[in-house]
Amino acid sequence: MKRGKKLITLLLATVLLASVAFTGCSDKGSASKLPTLKILTDDSDTAKRYAQAFQGMWQKELGIKVEIDSTTFKDRLQRTQEGDFQIVMAGWGPDYNDPMTFMDMWVTDGPFNEGGYANPEYDELIAKAKASPDNDERMDLMAQAEKILIEDMAIGPIYFRYRDYIKNPKLQGEVRRAFAPDPDFYWASIEDGDSITFNIGTEPPDMDPQTTTDTVSFQLLGHTFEGLTRLDQEGKAMPGMAKDWEVSDDGLEWTFNLRDDAKWSDGKPVTAHDFEYAWKRALDPELASQYAYILYYIENAEEYYNGEASVDDVGVEAVDDTTLKVRLALPAPFFDTLVAFGTFMPLNEEYHKSVGDKYASEADKMIYNGPFVMTTWDHDSKVVLKKNPDYWNADEIKLETIEGLMIKDANSALNEFLTGGLDIVGVRGDQKEQVKKEGYELLHYADGSSWYFLFNLEDEILANENIRKALTYSINRQAFVEKILQDDSKVGLGFVPPVMPGKSGSFREEVGDLFQDYDIKTAKKCLEKGIEELGLE
Amino acid sequence: MGRYIGKRFLHSIFTLFIIATVTFILMNLMPGKPFTGEKPIPEEIRKNMEAKYGLDKPIHERYVIYMKNLLRGDLGMSMVHKHRSVGSIIKERFPISASLGLRALSFALIAGLFLGIIAAVNHGKTWDYVSMIIAVIGVSVPSFIIGGLLQYFVGVKLRLFPVTGWESFKHTVIPSFALGLGTLAVMARMMRTSMLDVLNQDYIKTAKAKGLPRRAVVWRHGIRNAILPVVTILGPLVAGITTGTFVVENIFAIPGLGQFLVSSVNQNDYTLIMGLTLFYSLILVTMNFIVDILYGIVDPRITLVERKE
Amino acid sequence: MAEKLLEVNDLKVSFFTYAGEVQAVRGVSFHVNKGETLAIVGESGCGKSVTVHSLMRLIPSPPGKIKEGSIIFDGIDIISLSEKQMNEVRGSKMGMIFQDPMTSLNPTMTISQQIMEGIMRHKDVSKKEAFEEAIRILELVEIPNARKRANNYPHQFSGGMRQRVMIAIAIACNPMLLIADEPTTALDVTIQAQIIDLMKAIQKKMNTSIILITHDLGVVADIADRVNVMYAGEIVESGTLNEIFYDPYHPYTWGLLESVPRLDMAEDKPLVPIPGTPPDLLDPPKGCPFADRCKYAMVICKEQHPEMTSCSKTHKVSCWLTHPDAPKVERPLGGMKIE
Ligand SMILES: Nc1ncnc2c1ncn2[C@@H]1O[C@H](COP(=O)(O)OP(=O)(O)OP(=O)(O)O)[C@@H](O)[C@H]1O
Ligand SMILES: [Mg+2]
């Protein structure tokens, strides 16, 4: 019986192989002239599975041979940064709620431009967009830039990632979003109780707001700290430590008016000085904070970091205890959402000096100004957040306790959820069936990341735009998302993901798709042209 | 005895020194830096960070600095867990791994030896087959599968034990079982072979000829001798089980040291890699040493004293 | 008239292996009198050990099994005893010494422990008394410095000393029968004589009966009162020492006597090993098992098994040559002297 099954599988495989070979043959005309390409990938099973899917599509649709070059995660990152690759699947998640967090990646010689893309026209559009205080104008400029980016096929979009999760039906009001803190329990409540448990996955490696870079720490900081503003349910800026703010007409001068009843958890008032101190600290080259660049919108921030300006030149000034004046280097209409980001959280100088090096090393080596305070930080096992009674908006906060467990394994987390140990848990593609069987409703949210082929434009073959187009157009994204990712990710036919805001709604929806999914006809044409241009005939 | 221990001690120090050096070199050959992540870091910021962690210095200079600190007993700060020293991570986390490991080991030892003895004494009979089937399962099914299955069926379905965490005795049961099963199997098989061998020895016949009841023959004459070869692998087993905790720690979210073994390498946390390697090597060396002494106690033929001429 | 201590009748022992039934002992009958020494001789594999192990029911089972026969020891029917009852006999009424003193002692117990174990098993004594008794026995077997060495482990003794310890273990409870399975084979020549002398001394002191298995006819001559010659699981000839050495009837006995060097042999006389190999005990021949190797074999020898016939009151042999109709053959050996 078993043997019979095996035999049939074997037969099937042979037939499939033969048909693949056959289709390959029919297009052999041009593709065989293309040397074998290489796609760089991690050696994790999922990463390899993705690469194999692309490999198969290129082979089947275009007859292009692509080898899978798998290596360790770190090596992949390093080789990508060093330009030692041809094609690699890469992703980018937003730092703040504006398409610019995606679009300024590809400016010539930009720090994140790993493919080596260089187009003065593109650079100019981005520069103009950055210099414009007018939101509609900025969006138009970025839309034009994105068109050029895809027209040049600097990168080949694949998909926008969406994730699945399930929750205790009694839990209401949690907000999922593309940035930290995600999930955000600010508005959350739970029927017949006031405490919830969720999985933070791992130990937060660094709870110091000015130096940390990871989502776990940012998640906890988002609940225990508050910046000048915080993000509301829609991802827009709402009053935080600042009760209101004004922007000058040129968009460069921002004045934040702090509320006078804001307190640290040790009872001291939160003042504008705490922000000035924290921001300048984040930019201090001695601190060597990785996210210092997030503050580069501020006048002279980059110069100070690079030693070309003094700390006093940095455009942040506490005029008095409740007024913070910020001068920007470029108008950034989204600056009010940017200051909600973890790196911009305040720090009281006096307190900081009193704990020194130990700052943020334990729950009681920090003071908090957010809706919750961290009362327990049991390293490598859990954190406990308790409602901060002195928080200015405490009346609106319904949860008394949030417990964060550190369960790394996705199956264990799901099992913990199933026994009632967690009130919300992420679901992986391969867990969906089981979750449905257990009778839970699958919920989805965009994690804000955009995934694409990063092409090395300095590579002999991939320098050719038509080859890149052929590779991009020939991918069947719909099938990839359904069969390989098996989640609710969306087909990516542009670079900026749908969660990013545009003029009034979503940037992606306003701009529309920039090319067609699975466009074999065009792909083949491009391939032929590319081969001709490369002189491979 | 004293001289022997002294000699072994020097040996161990030298071994550790070699391990430290080799690890230091290999670790630096690994691609990536502690702060290499999905998001590339702007050049000038990266340089600045490297300077802060001393990674801008050439490797031999860093080696000398590390060794100097090591001699002072300073293992440095973790490069990923920004506010934790390597020493404190080991101090806080190892007791939990050790506790998990020892529970698993005691379970594996007691049950393994028992199964092995039962199998040997009932050679060729039902109990022999039963215990050997258990042993085969234990050897061939990896702990993450056993762990996952137990977690689901015993934890989720039957609700007999908690699914994750490390708080009460109940939390320790499934993880210890999952971790110990492989060792149990090794023990059972070894003990069975050894016991069968011993039961065929002449001195067992001597014991029988004295009119000793079977129980006395098996226990007094069989087991003690059969256990000797098992004792020799106890060192590597203890070391293996205490270092091999990471899979089980991961599944059951146990805050032990094992998980850092994997994460430190994945994250290029250089100081932590060094600290853990040295620490675990130290355990291994110590274990082997203890086992040697233990062996001398169990087997009177082995003497640790150098013969006087 | 000597009193019988042990009487074995038609004992059959087989091993049931994958290859089939190995008929290791095929109907042996013999007896041992009180205070006398019986030697069992024969080629390797002829069933000597199996025979004596059967007496103490030490045959590993499975695969071994006593199939038939009776063993009456001191009036007790050994075969019908339960395992528990048998343990009362082992070590107390019968003691056994094995061939290899290197492997017959437990390496992880001190020698006093190993001796005391038997004493405490069979006698109602305290640990201290048992220890004193152990010392006394160690002195009896002439271990020098017995009290000091009692707490030593076996590996701290030489081979000869260890065999003395083995003897001490075997006689610890003053057994009526001492079985020694090749007690000297593993020892060097000078030590052999000492061990045999020790056994003789003990026998004299305690009036023990001894069954001694050995390949060394010199030893036999030295200690034995009577001799059983075994071949292929059977006793082919038995008699007093003089009868076997001076007046052997069975050609196999002749072969044995020829194949070993002896003091009284002419120096130029070559040693003659018995040609051929013993029969396969999985499928023993129906006639005389020695027939294939016997240069005097007649037609009947291969056809029919010879009966055990008495040559004297004490001398028995199982050979067709003793049949009145058989041709007279010249015994190759001259008369032998035994002092
Ligand atoms: N455990 C066993 N399983 C199978 N066969 C056995 C076993 N023990 C003994 N035999 C067989 O029984 C026969 C007699 O063996 P035994 O040990 O009695 O010989 P022996 O006369 O004592 O020889 P040796 O002089 O070499 O000690 C041999 O053919 C041997 O193969
Ligand atoms: Mg023998």
Q: How far apart are CA B195 and CA A424, in angstroms?
A: 53
Least confident of A21-30, A174-183, A448-457, B205-214: A21-30
Q: How much is the average pLDDT of A302-327?
A: 95
The sign of the dihedral angle between the CA atoms of A97, A98, A99, A100 is negative
Q: How far apart are CA C116 and CA B176, in angstroms?
A: 42
Q: For residue B198, give the CATH number of its domain.
A: 1.10.3720.10
Q: Is residue B91, in this structure, part of any structural domain at all?
A: no
Q: How much is the average pLDDT of C179-204?
A: 84
DSSP state of A344: G
pLDDT at residue A89 in the model: 94
Instruction: Check B83 against A206: CB less than 8 A apart.
Output: yes
Residue A253 forms beta bridges with which residues? A327
Touching A (3+ Cβ pairs <8 A), the chains are B
Give the Å distance between the CA of C50 and the centre of ligand 1: 6
Q: Is C153 helix (H, G, I), strand (E, B) or coil?
A: coil
Residues 6 or more apart whose CB falls under 8 angstroms from that of B175 comprise B100, B104, B147, B166, B248, B249, B251, B252, B254
Q: How far apart are CA B104 and CA B241, in angstroms?
A: 8
Q: How much is the average pLDDT of A365-390?
A: 96
- Report the candidate in A364, A403, A369 with the shortest Cα–Cα distance to residue A388: A369
Q: What is the pLDDT of residues A205-242, one digit of tens each?
A: 999 999 998 899 999 999 999 999 999 998 889 999 99
Chain B nearest-CA distance from A191, in A, is 23
Contacts 24+ apart (CB under 8 A), A42-46: A42/A70, A42/A71, A42/A72, A42/A73, A42/A76, A43/A70, A43/A71, A43/A72, A43/A73, A44/A73
Chain B nearest-CA distance from C166, in A, is 9
C-interface mutation test, from B196, B201, B203, most C Cβ less than 10 A away? B203
pLDDT at residue A28 in the model: 45
Q: Is residue B171, in this structure, part of any structural domain at all?
A: yes
At C181, which amino acid appears? Answer: D
- Whether A369 contacts A255, CB under 8 Å: no
The sign of the dihedral angle between the CA atoms of B283, B288, B294, B298 is positive
One domain for residues B50 and B156? no
- What pLDDT band is residue A280 in, cutting at 50, 70 and 90? very high
pLDDT at residue B219 in the model: 86
Q: How far apart are CA C326 and CA C339, in angstroms?
A: 33
Window A:321-340, CB contacts with B under 8 Å: none
Q: What is the pLDDT of residues A60-103, one digit of tens each?
A: 999 999 999 999 888 898 899 889 999 999 999 998 889 999 99
Share of chain A above pLDDT 90, in %: 82
Instruction: Check B124 against C106: CB less than 8 A apart.
Output: no
The answer to whether residue C16 neighbours chain B at the CB level (below 8 Å) is no
Instruction: Check C121 against B212: CB less than 8 A apart.
Output: yes
The atom of ligand 1 lying closest to the CA of C43 is: 25
Most confident of A310-324, B21-35, C310-324: A310-324
Q: Is the pLDDT of residue A26 over 60?
A: no
- What pLDDT band is residue B10 in, cutting at 50, 70 and 90? confident
Of the three residues B231, B247, B266, the one that is the final residue of a domain is: B266
Q: Is residue B59, in this structure, part of any structural domain at all?
A: yes
Q: Is the pLDDT of residue A526 over 50?
A: yes
Q: How far apart are CA A143 and CA A150, in angstroms?
A: 11
One domain for residues B138 and B217? yes
Q: Is C25 helix (H, G, I), strand (E, B) or coil?
A: strand
Helix-, strand-, coil-residue percentages of chain A, each rounded to 5: 40, 20, 40
- What pLDDT band is residue B142 in, cutting at 50, 70 and 90? confident
Burial of A18 (0-12, 13-18, 19+ CB in 10 A): exposed
Q: How much is the average pLDDT of C325-332?
A: 78
Q: How much is the average pLDDT of A187-195?
A: 95
Most confident of A175-179, A346-350, C35-39: A346-350
Q: How many CB pairs under 8 A join B and C?
A: 80
Residue C30 forms beta bridges with which residues? C8
Instruction: Check C92 against B221: CB less than 8 A apart.
Output: no
The nearest alpha carbon in chain A to B247 belongs to A409
Strands C226-231 and C37-41: parallel
Which of C11, C12, C13, C15 gets mutated to test ligand 1 (max ligand atoms within 8 A of its CB)? C15
One domain for residues B48 and B147? no
What are C301's two structure tokens? 């020898």
- Whether B55 contacts B48, CB under 8 Å: no
Q: Is the pLDDT of residue B71 over 70?
A: yes
SS (H, E, C) A30-69: HHCCCCCEEEEEECCHHHHHHHHHHHHHHHHHHCCCEEEE
- Whether A471 contacts A524, CB under 8 Å: no
* DSSP conformation letters of A107-143: STT-TT-TT----HHHHHHHHHHHH---HHHHHHHHH
Q: How much is the average pLDDT of B148-159?
A: 92
Q: What is the pLDDT of residues B15-62, one digit of tens each?
A: 889 999 999 999 888 887 888 777 788 888 888 888 888 889 999 999
pLDDT at residue A206 in the model: 93
Greater model confidence, A8 or A338: A338
The radius of gyration of chain B's CA atoms, rounded to the nearest angstrom, is: 24
Of the three residues B249, B266, B283, the one that is the final residue of a domain is: B266
- Report the candidate in C54, C5, C3 with the shortest Cα–Cα distance to residue C25: C54
- Report the candidate in A278, A437, A402, A448 with the shortest Cα–Cα distance to residue A347: A278
pLDDT at residue A295 in the model: 95
Q: Is the pLDDT of residue C264 over 70?
A: no
- What pLDDT band is residue A24 in, cutting at 50, 70 and 90? very low
What are A430's two structure tokens? 């391969």
One domain for residues B108 and B244? yes
- What pLDDT band is residue A4 in, cutting at 50, 70 and 90? very low
One domain for residues B133 and B46? no
Q: How much is the average pLDDT of C280-306?
A: 86
Share of chain B above pLDDT 70, in %: 97
Range of the domain at B124: 99-266
Q: How much is the average pLDDT of C148-165?
A: 87
Instruction: Check B155 against A419: CB less than 8 A apart.
Output: yes
Q: Provide, as residue numbers in chain C, all residues whose Cβ is less than 8 Å from the Cβ of B298.
A: 108
Task: Find out whether the peptide bond into A371 is cis, omega within 30 degrees of 0.
Answer: no
Binding pocket residue ranges, ligand 1, CB within 6 Å = C 15, 17, 22, 24, 42, 44-50, 60, 63-64, 281
- Whether B265 contacts B34, CB under 8 Å: no
Ligand 1, atom 16, residue with closest C-alpha: C47
Q: Is residue B206, in this structure, part of any structural domain at all?
A: yes
Q: How far apart are CA A16 and CA A12, in angstroms?
A: 6
- Whether B195 contacts C44, CB under 8 Å: no
- Residue A377 phi/psi, 5-degree rounding, is -130, 90
The answer to whether residue C258 neighbours chain B at the CB level (below 8 Å) is no
One domain for residues B173 and B110? yes
Distance of CA C37 to the CA centre of its chain: 10
- Whether B120 contacts B199, CB under 8 Å: yes
Q: Is the pLDDT of residue B116 over 60?
A: yes
pLDDT at residue A15 in the model: 41
- Whether A511 contacts A494, CB under 8 Å: yes
- What pLDDT band is residue A147 in, cutting at 50, 70 and 90? very high
Q: Tokens 């078993």 label which residue?
A: A2
pLDDT at residue A22 in the model: 40
One domain for residues B120 and B241? yes
pLDDT at residue A75 in the model: 87
One domain for residues B172 and B223? yes
DSSP state of A177: -
For chain C, the average pLDDT equals 85
Residues 6 or more apart whose CB falls under 8 angstroms from that of C237 comprise C228, C229, C244, C248, C249, C250, C252, C253, C315, C316, C317, C318, C319
Q: How much is the average pLDDT of A456-461?
A: 94
- What pLDDT band is residue A31 in, cutting at 50, 70 and 90? low
- What pLDDT band is residue C268 in, cutting at 50, 70 and 90? low
Q: Is residue B19, in this structure, part of any structural domain at all?
A: yes
* Touching status, chains A and C (3+ beta-carbon pairs under 8 Å): no
Q: What is the pLDDT of residues C158-169, one digit of tens each?
A: 888 888 888 888
Instruction: Check C106 against B225: CB less than 8 A apart.
Output: yes
pLDDT at residue A119 in the model: 96
Q: Is residue B92, in this structure, part of any structural domain at all?
A: no
Q: Mark out chain B residues that contact chain C at CB-CB < 8 A.
A: 124, 201-203, 205-214, 216, 220-221, 224-225, 228, 298-301
* Touching status, chains A and B (3+ beta-carbon pairs under 8 Å): yes
One domain for residues B112 and B199? yes
Please compute, for residue B69, the number of CA atoms within 13 A of its CA located in the half-sphere on the CB side: 17
| Number of domains within chain B | 2
One domain for residues B64 and B110? no
The answer to whether residue C101 neighbours chain B at the CB level (below 8 Å) is no
Q: How far apart are CA C48 and CA C232, in angstroms?
A: 10
pLDDT at residue A9 in the model: 43
Task: Find out whether the peptide bond into A181 is cis, omega within 30 degrees of 0.
Answer: yes
Q: Is residue B209, in this structure, part of any structural domain at all?
A: yes
Q: Provide, as residue numbers in chain B, all residues whose Cβ is less than 8 Å from the Cβ of A416.
A: 163-164, 253
- Whether C231 contacts C278, CB under 8 Å: yes
Q: How much is the average pLDDT of A497-517?
A: 94
Helix-, strand-, coil-residue percentages of chain B, each rounded to 5: 75, 0, 25
- What pLDDT band is residue B99 in, cutting at 50, 70 and 90? very high
Q: Is the pLDDT of residue C63 over 90?
A: no
Element (H, E) at C11: strand C4-17
Burial of A410 (0-12, 13-18, 19+ CB in 10 A): middle
What are B244's two structure tokens? 């091999």
Instruction: Check B164 against A306: CB less than 8 A apart.
Output: no
- Whether A196 contacts A401, CB under 8 Å: yes
pLDDT at residue C263 in the model: 54
Q: Is residue B157, in this structure, part of any structural domain at all?
A: yes
What are A451's two structure tokens? 């995934």
Q: Is the pLDDT of residue A503 over 60?
A: yes
- What pLDDT band is residue A6 in, cutting at 50, 70 and 90? very low
Ligand 1, atom 17, residue with closest C-alpha: C49
One domain for residues B171 and B43? no
Q: How far apart are CA C17 and CA C19, in angstroms?
A: 5
One domain for residues B66 and B125? no
The nearest alpha carbon in chain B to C94 belongs to B209
- Report the candidate in C161, C190, C255, C251 with the shortest Cα–Cα distance to residue C217: C255
Element (H, E) at A189: strand A189-190
Q: How far apart are CA A344 and CA A210, in angstroms?
A: 7
- What pLDDT band is residue A365 in, cutting at 50, 70 and 90? very high
- What pLDDT band is residue B243 in, cutting at 50, 70 and 90? confident
- ipTM field: 0.86
Distance of CA C62 to the CA centre of its chain: 23
Q: Provide, as residue numbers in chain B, all residues whose Cβ is less than 8 Å from the Cβ of A286.
A: 52
